C-alpha cells in the first residue's frame, strides 16, 4: 500500500511546524468538498463556500492563499478518507474477494449521491483535465489509490500478472455505471450492474481457485 501523497495534517504558514488543524479550516474544506462535488470546482466560488460555512469571504485568505490550495486540501482529504476506508476493510481481516465486493458495493451505498452528481473521483478528474489544472495530478492520485489497492487484492486472490488489468477493469466498470446512473437515475440499472460485477468477481475468484 502506497500513500500517493504526503499528508498536510495541519497548518504550516511559514513556521515550518505542523499544528493541529484549525476548526474553521476544516469547515472550509468540508464545504468546499461538497460544493466541488455537487457543482464542480470552477463553478464554485469563494462566496458559495463562505455562505455554506457561514464566514466572511475575505477571511479565506488567512487559511488558504488561493483557490487552488483549497482544491489541494479537498483532494488530500478525499484521498485520506478513501485510504482509511480501504485499509479498514483489509485490517478487519476480510478476504480479498470480500474486500473487492465492498468496493463494488460503494456504488449502492452512495447510490443517491451518485445518481445526482456522478462519481466524485471521475467527475473531478474529468473537469480538471479539461481545465488543464495542476490539480489533475492529485485527482489521478485518487484513481491510483483505488487502482493500487484493487491490484493488491487481486494479487492476494492469486491473479498474478493479471491483477492490474483486473483492477483497471473493475475501476472502469464502476466509472461507467456511475456515469450512466447519473444520466438515468432509476434504481434498477445500478442494482443490476452491481449484481453483474459481483458475478464477474466470483467468476474470477473461481477461475483462480481451480487453477491452484
Partner DNA sequence: GACAGGTTAGGACAAGCGACCTAATGATAA
Partner DNA sequence: TTATCATTAGGTCGCTTGTCCTAACCTGTC
Applying CB under 7 A, the residues found at the interface with DNA are 11, 22-24, 44-48, 55-63, 65-68
Q: Choose one: 15-23, 55-63, 65-73, 184-192; the region binding a copy of itself (CB under 8 A).
A: 184-192
For residues 206 and 116, the answer to whether their CB atoms sit within 8 Å is no
Report which of 7, 135, 32, 137 is spatially closest to residue 82, judged by C-alpha positions: 7
Using alpha carbons, list the distances in angstroms from residue 45 to 32, 67, 68, 127, 133: 9, 9, 12, 15, 16
> Least separation, in Å, of the C-beta of 117 and DNA?
19
Q: Which does 59 bind (CB under 5 to 8 A by kind): DNA, a copy of itself, none?
A: DNA
| 199 counts as binding a copy of itself under rule CB under 8 A | no
List of E strands, 82-173: none
User: Which residues lie closer than 8 Å to 202 by C-beta, 6 or more apart?
Assistant: 97
Binding mask 125-144 for a copy of itself (x = CB under 8 A): xxx-xxxx-------x--x-
Sign of the CA dihedral 51, 54, 57, 60?
negative
Question: Residues in the site for a copy of itself, rule: CB under 8 A?
Answer: 38-40, 42-43, 117-118, 122-123, 125-127, 129-132, 140, 143, 165, 168-169, 171-177, 179-180, 182-184, 189, 192-193, 196
Amino acid at each position: 500500500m502506497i500513500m500517493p501523497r504526503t499528508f498536510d495534517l495541519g497548518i504550516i504558514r511559514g513556521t515550518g511546524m505542523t499544528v493541529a488543524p484549525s476548526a474553521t479550516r476544516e469547515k472550509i474544506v468540508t464545504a468546499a468538498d461538497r460544493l466541488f462535488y455537487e457543482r464542480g470546482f470552477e463553478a464554485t466560488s469563494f462566496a458559495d463556500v463562505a455562505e455554506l460555512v457561514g464566514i466572511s469571504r475575505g477571511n479565506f485568505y488567512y487559511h488558504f492563499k488561493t483557490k487552488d490550495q483549497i482544491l489541494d486540501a479537498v483532494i488530500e482529504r478525499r484521498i485520506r478518507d478513501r485510504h482509511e476506508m480501504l485499509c479498514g476493510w483489509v485490517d478487519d481481516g476480510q478476504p480479498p474477494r470480500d474486500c473487492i465486493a465492498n468496493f463494488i458495493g460503494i456504488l449502492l451505498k452512495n447510490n443517491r449521491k451518485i445518481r445526482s452528481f456522478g462519481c466524485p473521483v471521475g467527475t473531478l478528474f474529468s473537469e480538471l483535465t479539461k481545465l488543464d489544472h495542476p490539480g489533475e495530478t492529485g485527482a489521478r492520485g485518487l484513481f491510483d489509490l483505488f487502482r493500487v489497492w484493487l491490484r493488491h487484492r487481486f494479487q492476494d486472490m492469486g491473479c498474478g500478472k493479471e491483477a492490474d488489468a483486473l483492477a483497471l477493469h473493475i475501476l472502469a466498470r464502476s466509472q461507467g455505471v456511475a456515469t450512466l446512473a447519473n444520466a438515468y437515475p432509476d434504481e434498477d440499472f445500478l442494482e443490476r450492474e452491481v449484481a453483474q460485477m459481483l458475478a464477474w468477481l466470483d467468476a474470477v475468484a473461481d477461475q483462480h481457485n481451480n487453477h491452484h
